[in-house]
Amino acid sequence: MKTIMVIGAGQMGGGIAQVAAQANYSVILNDIKDEFVQRGLGIIEKNLSRNVEKGKLTAEDKENILGRITKSTSLQDAAAADLVIEAAVENMAIKSQVFSQLDVICPDHTILSTNTSSLPITEIAAFTKRPDRVIGMHFMNPVPVMKLVEVIRGLATSDEVYKTIETLSTSMGKTPVEVNDAPGFVANRVLVPMLNEAICTLNEGIASVESIDNVMKLGMNHPMGPLALADLIGLDTVLSIMEVLHEGLGDKYRPCPLLRKYVKAGWLGRKAGRGFYNYP
Ligand code: CAA
């Protein structure tokens, strides 16, 4: 396993590219437009510079890490990849196109993985003729900091591919946890309904944004409150996960109307400059 292509240079894809390059892999960072790739690289550069300032990396390490990342705006570049990690938008139609193209472009040995936060791995695998070599690698936000990778087996994922990804995740400094394919897997099935409930609590006027977050931070020792965390994840992503849970598991998981309203308004959290908090 030498070369990893990361598709999507947003907050998750950029973070995955960074940790892969830090772990000495050659990384191809791909997005549909050069400006998106450039923006992702800019964030990686900033993260690495901060680590240089803190004395955690040397300036030379930083240059070497950046030197291992190649920019790409063509899926054809996946021909050089031993592993693809797809971290594009959470839309099954787009994933179907990407995975069916990758299946044609990539050599037979290439493993195709997805960082989807809740879409079924088995269905994504079925867009290819290599469902045994398709697997979920669900990283947590912010990727450079969070230890977990949920490694999700689709129905047809082979044991060999699972083992390879388990070893690779460890080599990237992460702790892999094996999970089967089900709506929201484990992390988001447990976490996201709590975020949704916090939004409902706000919607019903039970407490202010700050009070809800303080209750969970001070009362449960959570590092950040649920509304701040929803802003960090992105409210569009929170909504799309709730929709998958609602469809797959029933009414208990109905998205809060206030969440829908914020998404419609474009108040998507940190990345939009406004969510439950403002981000100047
Ligand atoms: N990128 C890179 N590094 C970051 C970062 C980012 N976006 N944000 C923080 N950091 C680093 C800081 O540089 C700092 O590093 P050092 O220890 O080397 O100094 C470290 O993280 C701690 O940061 P801060 O001191 O600034 O702040 P903090 O102690 O409050 O930690 C936090 C920030 C790590 C985000 C913490 O609040 C936290 O763990 N929050 C919960 C995050 C969480 O639950 N993530 C999972 C979301 S769910 C998900 O991702 C799945 C999904 O599909 C939706």
Ordered per-residue pLDDT tens for the chain, 280 residues:
999 999 999 999 999 999 999 999 999 999 999 999 999 999 999 999 999 999 999 999 999 999 999 999 999 999 999 999 999 988 999 999 999 999 999 999 999 999 999 899 999 999 999 999 999 999 999 999 999 999 999 999 999 999 999 999 999 999 999 999 999 999 999 999 999 999 999 999 999 999 999 999 999 999 999 999 999 999 999 999 999 999 999 999 999 999 999 999 999 999 999 999 999 9
For residue 207, how far is its CA from the centre of ligand 1 (angstroms)? 25
CB contact at 8 A, 178 and 113? no
Q: How far is CA 151 from the centre of its chain?
A: 12
Q: Which pLDDT belongs to residue 192?
A: 98
* Full residue range of the structural domain in which residue 264 is found: 188-271
Task: Output the domain CATH number for residue 88.
Answer: 3.40.50.720
Q: How far is the centre of ligand 1, averaged over its atoms, from the C-alpha of 146 (Å)?
A: 7
Expressed in angstroms and rounded, the spacing between residue 235 Cα and the centre of ligand 1 is: 17
Q: What pTM does this model have?
A: 0.95
Question: Is 222 one of the catalytic residues?
Answer: no
Residues 163 and 57 in one domain: yes
Place of tokens 């308004």: 265
pLDDT at residue 200 in the model: 98
Same domain, 112 and 246: no
Q: Check whether residue 68 and residue 128 sit in a common domain.
A: yes
| Shortest-distance atom of ligand 1 to CA 144 | 2
Sign of the CA dihedral running 147, 153, 157, 163 = positive
Answer whether 116 contacts ligand 1 (Cβ < 6 A). Answer: no
Same domain? For 170 and 206 the reply is no
For residue 253, what is the domain's CATH number? 1.10.1040.10
187 lines ligand 1 (CB under 6 A): yes
pLDDT the model gives residue 186: 97
**Nearest ligand 1 atom to alpha carbon 51:** 18
Cα 275 to Cα 231: distance, rounded to the nearest angstrom: 6
Q: Is residue 216 part of a domain?
A: yes
